[in-house]
A and B are shown apart, each in its own frame.
Chain A
Amino acid sequence: MTLQLEKVTKRYRDFTAVQNLNFTISKGEIFGLIGQNGAGKTTTFRMILDLQDTTEGIIMWDGKPIKKINRDILGYLPEERGIFPQMKVEEQLFFFGELRGMEKETLKKEIDFWIMRFDLQEKRHDKAETLSKGNQQKVQLIASFLHRPKFLILDEPFSGLDPVNMELLKNAILFLKEQGMTILFSSHQMDNVEELCDHLCLLKRGESLFSGSLLDLKKQYGKTKLTVHSDMADTDLEKLSGVKHVGRDRDGHAVLTLEDESYARALFEHFSNGQYIEKFSLDYLSLHEIFKEKVGATHV
């Protein structure tokens, strides 16, 4: 059971929002779609959800065109708040559940379960508009997967959540994955993507720069991030062979970006000189760093 996008393009007259996009998501996988604002993430989601037509290409779910599937297998959390401000929390969840064809008994159990899990017991009879931004986000989240869809799309699910609630959500996402749910999500917080995603697609101005596993993406760059304890001045470090860039972390360790992984051995010899060395760590670049490198943005 997979989602498959083949050569998907979306054009608005003279503007191309998504260009020749290809990726596949397997059953039970968490897939990240990342890119700057305006990269085409929401447009892609809307095409998958059949809220917008594709200009070219095809989107399939389990071998069938997405337009022909039962819409109740889909769940969606929009980027912006999408709940009824005047409706009470419980009433709202009942409405969305009923709309998804859930039976009252099952619905009640699910609502109780998720309200408990997201710590909303005291708010269940409050109007949505009276809730904090974070609690509204939690209600909306529950509404999006209350009916246990087979495929869940989360557009910026961590937006507006504090670290505690973010953790709650991460656990919930992993729980849903365990239940066999396939999840596609976007986020500007790369650490979350790195933590949750099995595979990802990196978008820039509607075009895919990379699609595959996180490890494959990292391998493209190799282990070029060297953190080392050294008393040498940065200017001297920059002169070392194979060093592209020098920085410092919060602990004062030098963080060297290498041209290539192969320089690491020689540098180890240089820093240790056969002696004990407090820190020498060779790592892959973080997703955040790769994103900046690939997309060329000053911020994400």
Chain B
Amino acid sequence: MRLMSKFSVLVKQLYKQKIRTLTFRLMTLLYLGLICAFIFWPEIKGLLFSDDAEIVSVVNETDFDVAPFLQGNDQFDWQVVDADSAKKNVEEGEYYANVTLTDDQGKLSANITSLDPLPLNDQQSISGLISQMGQMYAMAQMDLTAEQQAVLLSAEPIISMHTLNEQASDGKSTEEKQAGIFVSYAIGFVIYIFVATYLSMITTEVASEKGSRALEMLLVSVKPETHFRSKLIGVFLVAITQFAIIFGALFLLLRFTYGGEKWTLVTDLLESMSIGYFLYVIGFLFGTILMYLILGALFGSLVSKVEEAGQVMMPALMMTLIGFYVMISGMGNPDTLLIKVFSYIPFTSGMVMPMRIGATDISSIEPIISFVLLVGTTLLLYVISLTFYKRSVLTYSSGGLIQKIKTVFKVTT
């Protein structure tokens, strides 16, 4: 009972102190600002940049009717003009670009002219529209009937997937995999940001108490293991608070702005994912954060002053960075050997395995193995760190991480 009471006092003090810090408030505001910018981007864009679409002129030297295509594209203000007017206006900067359409042996040929080189996105948009016109132009040259044209236009094949292995499922559709990649990327990013932030917080917290010798005062009253646990839980609660604020705000903004239109898009995206996927994601998210917090507290206990905290937590930060980049590499192809290997390593699985679960057809046993490895490693690290923490927390030494560990063993055995 007394132990719980001391534990609660320590957790409460740490929680209150961290929530009140300027860093926590600024970081939370920054995340909220980024979310608002993401959601209200059309309005922000409208405020910052002109809404008027750029004028792109079209000089049509064929007898093909391009008007329906131009009307269907509102990215630019399309204007059909004569060649002289187009050249003059492009040179004077009145027109953003000009497209001259000619016939080249039965094929549509387009020459794009602009005063300055076009940005890639605009280049792709104009080229895409011209490609569509080119296909229709080619069909028009074949003298096809309206029915024949309709058949050609709707000739997209119907694709369904089946696997012969009875133990395996039929696999995810391309849309499901794309949704999985998108959601997994977001989750991997969240894990990376939270781990990096809170690993740093707990390491600095323990290092600062140790460096200021406040720890000696505390350890007269509480056992090192109680102190260790209070740091883990206190920082974990701060992480959950920030998580709740950010995702609570995100939910409210999505749900109640634009008449809930964006929330519908999100639910459509999430509906393509299974409940099991989200359970795994939550498990990996909190498991990974907890594991890194344990490491952070241990590293913090090794240093003699807070200035050395950055040095000792570098290996752990490197691991998170590796996991993050491996996860990024999976955006292009989530089935590589690299992704598979790192999805089992507990220090990176939190970022990599959700992508494999969401975007590949893995058997149900693989995420279980990875998760069990994560939980097992976390428990093992907890036990080891707790034992080591008792020894290291009042041992002061200089040198690198290995030297500090050696010193702890030297003076405590």
Query: Which residues of A approach B to under 8 Å, CB–CB?
Result: 12-13, 46, 49, 51-52, 70-72, 74-76, 78, 80-87, 95-96, 98-101, 140, 143-144
Please give me the 10 A-B residue pairs with the lowest Cβ-Cβ distance, nearest first: A82-B213, A82-B217, A76-B220, A78-B216, A80-B213, A98-B9, A12-B411, A82-B214, A99-B9, A82-B216
Contact partner, A144, options B212, B217, B413, Cβ 8 Å: B217
Is A101's CB under 8 angstroms from B217's CB?
A: no
- Tally of contact residues, B, Cβ under 8 A: 24
Is B221's CB under 8 angstroms from A99's CB?
A: yes
Query: Which residues of B approach A to under 8 Å, CB–CB?
Result: 2, 5-6, 9-10, 13, 17, 209, 212-222, 394, 410-413
Chain A residues, Cβ within 8 Å of B213: 78, 80-82
Shortest Cβ distance from A77 into B: residue:
B217
Is A81's CB under 8 angstroms from B220's CB?
A: no
Is A96's CB under 8 angstroms from B217's CB?
A: yes
Chain A residues, Cβ within 8 Å of B222: 71, 99
Number of A-B contacts (CB under 8 A): 64
17 chain-A/chain-B pairs, Cβ below 8 angstroms: A12-B411, A51-B216, A51-B220, A51-B394, A72-B221, A75-B220, A78-B217, A80-B213, A82-B214, A82-B215, A84-B212, A86-B17, A95-B9, A99-B10, A99-B218, A100-B221, A143-B217
A140 to B9, CA, bound (A): 19
Contact partner, B219, options A51, A80, A100, A144, Cβ 8 Å: A51
Q: Given contacts A12-B410, A51-B219, A52-B394, is CB(A99)–CB(B212) below 8 Å?
A: no
Chain B residues, Cβ within 8 Å of A98: 9
Chain A residues, Cβ within 8 Å of B9: 95, 98-99
Q: Given contacts A12-B411, A13-B413, A46-B394, is CB(A76)–CB(B5) below 8 Å?
A: no
A84 to B214, CA, bound (A): 6
Chain A residues, Cβ within 8 Å of B216: 51, 76, 78, 82
A100 to B221, CA, bound (A): 7
Chain B residues, Cβ within 8 Å of A87: 17
Min C-beta distance of B203 to chain A, whole Å: 17
Q: Which of A75, A78, A144 is most buried by chain B, counting CB atoms within 10 A of its CB?
A: A78
Chain B residues, Cβ within 8 Å of A95: 9, 13
Chain A residues, Cβ within 8 Å of B10: 99
Chain B residues, Cβ within 8 Å of A78: 213, 216-217
Is A71's CB under 8 angstroms from B212's CB?
A: no
Is B217's CB under 8 angstroms from A74's CB?
A: no
A22 to B218, CA, bound (A): 27
Is B5's CB under 8 angstroms from A101's CB?
A: yes
Chain A residues, Cβ within 8 Å of B221: 71-72, 74, 96, 99-100
Chain A residues, Cβ within 8 Å of B6: 99, 101
A99 to B17, CA, bound (A): 16
Chain A residues, Cβ within 8 Å of B394: 46, 51-52
A277 to B12, CA, bound (A): 72
A144 to B221, CA, bound (A): 10
Chain B residues, Cβ within 8 Å of A81: 212-213
Is A140's CB under 8 angstroms from B2's CB?
A: no
Min C-beta distance of A140 to chain B, whole Å: 7
Q: Given contacts A99-B10, A99-B222, A101-B5, is CB(A140)–CB(B217) below 8 Å?
A: yes
Chain A residues, Cβ within 8 Å of B220: 49, 51, 71, 74-76
A13 to B10, CA, bound (A): 34
A27 to B291, CA, bound (A): 47
Is B217's CB under 8 angstroms from A85's CB?
A: no
A74 to B221, CA, bound (A): 8
Chain B residues, Cβ within 8 Å of A71: 220-222
A46 to B215, CA, bound (A): 13
Min C-beta distance of A267 to chain B, whole Å: 52
Is A13's CB under 8 angstroms from B217's CB?
A: no
Given contacts A84-B214, A86-B17, A95-B13, 12 further A-B contacts (CB under 8 A): A51-B216, A52-B394, A71-B221, A75-B220, A78-B213, A78-B217, A81-B212, A82-B212, A84-B212, A85-B212, A95-B9, A99-B6
Shortest Cβ distance from B220 into A: residue:
A76
A101 to B2, CA, bound (A): 8
Shortest Cβ distance from A96 into B: residue:
B217
A74 to B219, CA, bound (A): 11
Chain A residues, Cβ within 8 Å of B413: 13
Min C-beta distance of A145 to chain B, whole Å: 12
Min C-beta distance of A153 to chain B, whole Å: 8
Q: Which of B9, B209, B214 is most buried by chain A, counting CB atoms within 10 A of its CB?
A: B214
Min C-beta distance of A70 to chain B, whole Å: 8
Shortest Cβ distance from A46 into B: residue:
B394
Q: Given contacts A51-B220, A99-B221, is CB(A83)–CB(B411) below 8 Å?
A: no
A12 to B394, CA, bound (A): 14
Chain A residues, Cβ within 8 Å of B209: 84
Q: Which of B221, B412, B413 is most buried by chain A, counting CB atoms within 10 A of its CB?
A: B221
Min C-beta distance of A298 to chain B, whole Å: 27
Chain A residues, Cβ within 8 Å of B412: 12
Min C-beta distance of A249 to chain B, whole Å: 40
Min C-beta distance of B138 to chain A, whole Å: 73
Min C-beta distance of B412 to chain A, whole Å: 8
Chain A residues, Cβ within 8 Å of B219: 49, 51
Min C-beta distance of B209 to chain A, whole Å: 8
Chain A residues, Cβ within 8 Å of B215: 82
Shortest Cβ distance from A144 into B: residue:
B217
Min C-beta distance of B304 to chain A, whole Å: 11
Shortest Cβ distance from B5 into A: residue:
A101
